[in-house]
Amino acid sequence: MQEKAMYFLKSLIYQKIKDTGGSWNDSKLRPVVCLVESTEKSGLFWAIPVGNWNHRDDKAKERIKKFLSCPDTDLRSCYYHIGNTNEKSIFFISDVIPITEKYVEKEYLGFNKKVYVIKNEILLQILNYKLSRILAFESSKNNYFRQHITDIKKALIHELERDAIFKEITEISEVQKEVAPVKEKVLRARDIPKGD
């Protein structure tokens, strides 16, 4: 996974959200932008769901615009952002979730058939600013948002740590398998009587 790139996620992550007490009602297969890797844990990324602005009806567009017109001091002004990916898009920033590579289904491809990476620096600055405000608020009021950001983050960090331990144990076992024949030869050599 890479920062600023877009992906589709496995349904497993949405079940994980529900299993940790969160709510996820979106049944659409929508891409996410893996905006930035967490500073808390390597391999944990903050993913923002993205939708096509033109797929919204007028009522939904007005609702989103109402949030966007809130004063900058109002956290609700950070819930959404309208910007361009390969189409006019709506970023559902308040629906941010932490993810790991384990939960990525496939890449979201651009017109060039390669993973789509957001390169517009102004858009990235705005998304990062709004995301940082959402995460700061979540940090002060754990699980404030319906998806239970804090609980899912803790669960994924636990998974990453468990997987790292398992990998280390596996590597040690492999080394032990490689060393075993050498160890056996050394032990046999010690038992050979030495000549006068």
79 burial type by CB count under 10 A (0-12 exposed, 13-18 middle, 19+ buried): buried
Residue 33 corresponds to which tokens in the numbers above?
């932008």
Give the H or E element holding residue 3: none
* Residue scoring higher pLDDT (155 or 175): 155
User: In the beta sheet, which residues pair with residue 164?
Assistant: none
109 part of a folded domain: yes
| Neighbour count for residue 93 (Cβ, 10 Å) | 22
What letter does residue 193 receive in the DSSP assignment? P
174 part of a folded domain: no
The Cα 9–Cα 106 span in angstroms is 7
122 part of a folded domain: yes
Would you give the end-to-end CA distance of the chain in angstroms? 65
181 part of a folded domain: no
171 part of a folded domain: no
The Cα 152–Cα 154 span in angstroms is 5
CA-wise closest residue to 52 among 6, 12, 13, 15: 6
pLDDT score recorded for residue 167: 76
What letter does residue 101 receive in the DSSP assignment? G
176 part of a folded domain: no
CA-wise closest residue to 133 among 82, 101, 93: 93
pLDDT digits (tens, 9 = 90+) for 140-150: 999 999 999 99
Residue 127 corresponds to which tokens in the numbers above?
């998304």
**Confidence band of 138 (pLDDT split at 50, 70, 90):** very high
When divided into structural domains, the chain yields a total of: 1
Residue 116 corresponds to which tokens in the numbers above?
């789509």
What is the rounded (10 degree) CA torsion for 8, 13, 18, 24?
-10
pLDDT score recorded for residue 190: 66
Residue 65, pLDDT > 70, answer yes
Measured CA distances, 69 to 7, 52, 62, 73, 131 (Å) = 29, 20, 10, 11, 17
Range of the domain at 51: 5-157
pLDDT score recorded for residue 180: 67
150 part of a folded domain: yes
Residue 58, pLDDT > 60, answer yes
CATH number of the domain within which 50 lies: 3.10.129.130
167 part of a folded domain: no
pLDDT digits (tens, 9 = 90+) for 165-179: 877 777 677 767 776
Residue 91, pLDDT > 80, answer yes
